[in-house]
Amino acid sequence: MDDLEGMRLDQLDGLRNELVAELTMTTVFTPGSFQEEWRRCGKTNCHCARDGDPGHGPFFSVERWEQGKSRKRRVPAGVVPQVRGRVAAWEKFQRVCGKLADVNAEESRRLLLEPGGGSVRPALTGQKGG
């Protein structure tokens, strides 16, 4: 957020508008993290028991928190590219939301800490007159 401190308010507003536009372009996503796993079956005569063998797989899944628990869902091989892209879109969505929060936090910092509020525009509601 340090780079935001040097920006003028009109630059912050411009950045906010860019971020909001970027959010509207990122509406299809799959929340979670994409995982690729290789497993060993435990049979001593199987190829996966040999040193250097990656094991059985790959197996793909998406893991996310739902209702306070970690949930993992298997991803069929035929939709791996699509799901991988949707998870990447989720990661982008999170980054853009974080940047948008940083812009708003910088405006709030100026309003609360700088003498005269740093010329930050007033909130739309909750203003007292006089």
pLDDT tens track for 5-51: 888 888 999 999 999 999 999 889 999 999 999 999 999 999 999 99
Handedness of CA 15, 122, 3, 105 (dihedral sign): negative
Question: Is the confidence at residue 110, as pLDDT, over 90?
Answer: no
> Model-level pTM?
0.74
Which residues does residue 62 pair with via DSSP β-bridges, in sequence order? 34, 73
**CA-wise closest residue to 96 among 19, 13, 2, 26:** 19
Domain locations in the chain?
2-114
CA distance 56 to 118: 60
Work out the number of other CB atoms within 10 angstroms of the CB of residue 108. 11
pLDDT in tens, 67-108: 999 999 999 999 999 999 999 999 999 999 999 999 999 988
In whole angstroms, give the CA distance from residue 54 to residue 124: 59
Contact 93, 19 (CB under 8 A): no
> Who wins on pLDDT, 99 or 119?
99
Residue 116: predicted pLDDT: 60
Q: Name the residue type at position 82.
A: Q
